[in-house]
Chain A
Amino acid sequence: MKKLIEFRNIVKAFGSQVVLKGINLDIYENEFVTLLGPSGCGKTTLLRILGGFLNQDSGEVILDGKEISNVPAYQRPINTVFQRYALFPHLDVFDNVAFGLRIKKMSEDLIKPKVERMISLVGLEGFEHRDISMMSGGQQQRVAIARALVNEPDVLLLDEPLSALDRKLRVEMQQELKRIQQEVGITFIFVTHDQEEALTMSDKIVVMRDGVIQQIGTPLEIYNTPNNRYVANFIGNSNIVDGMMKKDYLVKFDDREYECVDFGFKPNELVDVIIRPEDIRILPPNKGKLNGQVLSVLFKGVHYETIVETRRGASKTVTLHVVEGRDTFNKEANEMINATDFTVDIEDVKNLTNEDLIARANAQAWVPDSEQDISITTVENGLKEESGSYPVTFRTAKGTSITVNVKVVKPIVSEDAKYQIGIQAFDVYKTVDEIRESMAISVDLKTWADAYAWELDTQEEVAIDDVRFDFEPNEITAGDYPVTFLTEGRTWKVHTTEKQEEDTAVSIDFGPDDIHVMHKEVLS
């Protein structure tokens, strides 16, 4: 195949923001190339540079062996299908399609058959003299494609042309576009953020991120052998775990070593390991490589997405002390006051302001009849920077007061040395009403207990994604309840055709060639 377009070290910045950081890319004749990436990755900018609507700051654009940076858009043998079609509302379908040819001063006798052929290629026979405003989104899309293709360009650029269509129509147009491309046999450069679109239509996919090309390859290559975690995440839905390459063909993750087919890594290099959900099999316990439990099963149309947990997350259990509200009435001042006990991290004691104490104790005062709030003017703070129980008294201007017990505690930390995760949380004191009124009890419990988990080596925060408790928030009564906070363990997405029962013990299995090892991303 002949090389048609070459991008040579294209750099483009808007103000201080560099959107293309040295793009090198070759595109061949008759290729269907997709530039894939999230918004802001530079894919549209690259397309606009090729179309002639933007100038690069440096680098060369070579078309058919000639550098074209100084050729204006209207002289380039390139046409574009725009995201919102940009059809001319003052012209009908035929005149829209004929627009480019009429600009070239082609005779009407030649224009008519060409336009009619294009209109039938995109399946719009009979709509020639329809007004654009009378066409549906999908039909307008077809007009836009015909209007561009009728000029017989060397390259057709498509700027997210399907993003405005609904799903069913989008799938239909994907097949249409591929058919049209094969029929007219010219190079299509397609920009999208939709990985499914990219996989369906492309001969070649260019995955971009932050102005840098991450990987160039066929859909199969990109899918099966992604270069890094970013590409793997963007294409398809994967299991990606941290691992270490012990030596060629041997990778270690989750404490065990596995044979694999990858090589050429440094010994003991830290890597990302990816196993596609459809490459994993579910077997009875002890038959596969890893034992686990089915966490959830979701039907996805053609398969079940089964989540298997092979390792529990790190966990920390604290006590939730639920007490009856202690509304205290001061008859002389006609004021009510209320506050609850709470715990404080020993590290935080010296930094606590009176406002903090009022907030933590949820101290409130009010006039019983009108429910009008009264501010708490003095806080008697008996806290010491030692573990123990200390009184704190809240008082209003009229002398109404309440004293609560505050427990100063050292952070309760559990460290899971095997999986390098630390987790901490505090006991919680709350009134019955506070629990009953909570709109999202799991989130509130996390906040109240100040529950936090982190990676021991990097100190990075790890999400606590499960809060377990055994009470009904709406019907809770005074008493002590255990609450457990858990980080996510190791879970595997598995695509199966058979439905698994939730909570059953299973094992998962995969072969050496199902494991794909990638270098860790080096962030620029």
Chain B
Amino acid sequence: MKGFRRLAYPYAIWAVIFVVVPMLLVLIYAFTTRGNSVLTFRFTLANFARFFSDKIFISVLLRSLKIALVTTIICILLGYPVAYAISRFSPNNQALCVLLVTIPMWINMLVRTYAWRGILLETDLSPEMKVYIGMVYNFLPFMILEVYTSLSKMDPNLSVAAADLGCNNRQVFTKVILPLSIPGVLSGITLVFLPAVSSFFIPKLLGGGSFVLIGNLIENYFVTTGDWNFGAAISLIMTIIILISMYFTRKFDYTEEERA
């Protein structure tokens, strides 16, 4: 066992270099001002003050949360029925359907979004609507797969037992299948909401220059303005929001799983 444990060392080093160090850098940049070198850095909260005092930044943040939330809800509403339908098919057809859902993901997300840009260019849809289409298109497969997994793992005898105890088909679904698939829906939410709230290329490519989300904001400050400190501060705020939302999803998930 000890020999195997040693195999993990390269990964630990890798993780420190590429995960922990960058995070620390973000942290340091967020709490310092522009022009500081590592040696002379001075602690400041100015970057955060600037973000929370400016209504535009707050509205971008709220808009990002709204877009992510609506995307997630649409993905649940579209994805759940698809996943449910797939789980009713014969095993062979299930595998085929899962494959069909997965195939688009073999192509780079950026490339697919460019394709949508071409499709949506001539339409009169609002930038917001175009962003929704791009988001839902990109993230729907995650929801379908997560829900499908939880549905297909369910003991089919539970449905039979529910019918035996007097449930008609609708009640079998609402009383047994739906409650038992909630953990799948929750992990689907994690997989859709998190990338949606921080996505920057979808609004950039589909929403046009005027439609800015928090991801674009971060990108702008790093790439265009060169204000890494403020960019790092926004990233940190984003990270904290994501951590909080994950905490609540997980908590909900655990209370369900304890029973499962």
Q: Is the CB of A147 within 8 A of B260?
A: no
Partner of B167, one of A90, A91, A103: A103
Of the candidates A74, A88, A91, A92, the one whose C-beta lies within 8 Å of that of B163 is: A74
Give B169 Cβ to nearest chain A Cβ, in Å.
Answer: 9
B166 touches A90 (CB 8 A): no
Taken together as a complex, chains A and B put the C-alpha atoms of A82 and B156 apart, in Å, by 12
Q: Is A315 an interface residue (CB 8 A)?
A: no
B161 at the interface (CB under 8 A from A): yes
Q: Is B164 an interface residue (CB 8 A)?
A: yes
Asked if A73 and B164 sit within 8 Å, CB to CB, the answer is yes
Q: Please determine whether A79 and B165 come into contact, CB atoms closer than 8 angstroms.
A: yes
Q: Report whether B260 and A79 are in contact in the complex, using a CB–CB cutoff of 8 Å.
A: no
Which residues on B sit within 8 Å (CB–CB) of A148?
164-165
Within B206-260, the residues touching A (CB, 8 Å) are 256, 258-260
In the bound complex, CA of A79 to CA of B161 (Å): 9
Query: Are B164 and A103 in contact (CB-based, < 8 A)?
Result: no
**Does B40 make an interface contact (CB < 8 A)?**
no
Which residue on chain B has the smallest CB distance to residue A75?
Answer: B166
Inter-chain contact A80/B179, CB cutoff 8 Å: no
B43 to chain A, nearest CB (A): 49
In contact, B163 and A73 (Cβ under 8 angstroms): yes
Q: Are B175 and A133 in contact (CB under 8 A)?
A: no
Interface mask (B128-157 → A, CB under 8 Å = 1, otherwise 0): 000000000000000000000000000101
Inter-chain contact A88/B166, CB cutoff 8 Å: no
Q: A84-B155, A86-B157 are in contact. Are A151 and B260 (CB under 8 A)?
A: no
Question: Is A86 a contact of B171 with CB atoms below 8 Å?
Answer: no
B92 within 8 A of A: no
B165 touches A84 (CB 8 A): no
- The answer to the question of B82 belonging to the interface, with a C-beta cut-off of 8 Å to chain A, is no
- Nearest B residue to A82 by beta-carbon distance? B157
Interface residues of A in 35-91 (CB under 8 A from B): 51-53, 72-75, 78-80, 82, 84, 86-91
A99 touches B175 (CB 8 A): yes
Contacting residues, chain A, for B17 (C-beta < 8 A): none
Q: Is A131 an interface residue (CB 8 A)?
A: yes
- Taking the closest CB of chain B, its distance from the CB of A187, in whole angstroms, is 16
Q: Taking chain B's interface residues, is the majority helix, strand, or loop, or is none over half, making it mixed?
A: helix
Q: Which residues of B contact A91 (CB under 8 A)?
A: 259
Min distance, Cβ B256 to any Cβ of chain A, angstroms: 7
Q: Convert A122-142 into 0s and 1s, putting 1 for each residue whose CB lies closer than 8 angstroms to a CB of B.
A: 000000000111000000000
A53 to B160 Cα, complex, angstroms: 8
Evaluate whether A89 and B160 lie within 8 angstroms (CB atoms) in the complex, with A74-B166, A151-B165 already known: no
| Segment 67-107 of B: residues with Cβ below 8 Å from A | none
Contact A90 B260 (CB under 8 A): yes
| CB <8 Å contact, A82 and B180 | no
Interface check A100, CB cutoff 8 A: yes
Q: How far, in angstroms, from A73 to B168 measured CA to CA in the complex?
A: 9
Q: Report yes or no: A100 in contact with B155, Cβ–Cβ below 8 A.
A: no
Q: Which residues of A are found within 8 Å of B161, using beta-carbon distances? A: 80, 82, 86-88
A residues near B160, Cβ cutoff 8 Å: 53, 73, 80, 82, 86
A133 touching B155 in the complex, CB below 8 Å, given contacts A73-B164, A89-B180: no
CB contact under 8 A between A100 and B165, given known A82-B157, A89-B180: yes
Chain A, residues 190-224, CB within 8 Å of chain B (1/0): the string is 00000000000000000000000000000000000
> Among residues 91 to 144 in chain A, which have CB atoms less than 8 Å away from a CB atom of chain B?
91-92, 99-100, 103-104, 131-133
Contact of B158 among A75, A78, A88 (CB under 8 A): A88
User: Is B176 in the interface zone, CB < 8 Å from A?
Assistant: yes
Asked, given contacts A53-B160, A86-B158, A103-B175, whether A131 binds B259 with beta carbons under 8 Å apart, the answer is yes
Given known A-B contacts A89-B259, A131-B259, A151 and B166 have beta carbons under 8 A apart? yes
Which residue from chain B places its CB closest to the CB of A78 in the assembled complex? B164
Chain B residue nearest in CB terms to A157: B164
CA gap between A104 and B161 in the complex, in Å: 15
The A-contacting residues of B in range 166-189, CB under 8 angstroms, are 166-168, 171, 175-176, 179-180
How far is B179's CA from A92's CA once the two chains are assembled, in angstroms?
A: 13
Task: Across the interface, name the chain B residue whose C-beta is closest to A90.
Answer: B179
A80 to B161, CA, bound (A): 7
Residue in A closest to B256 when the chains form the complex, CB atoms: A90
Distance (whole angstroms) from the CB of A181 to the closest CB of chain B = 18
Given contacts A74-B163, A100-B165, 4 further A-B contacts (CB under 8 A): A80-B164, A84-B157, A87-B161, A151-B166
Which B residues lie at the A interface, using CB under 8 A?
A: 155, 157-158, 160-168, 171, 175-176, 179-180, 256, 258-260
19 sample A-B contacts, Cβ–Cβ < 8 Å, listed by A number: A51-B164, A52-B163, A53-B163, A72-B168, A73-B163, A74-B165, A74-B167, A79-B164, A80-B164, A82-B161, A86-B155, A87-B161, A89-B259, A90-B179, A99-B175, A103-B165, A103-B167, A133-B259, A148-B164
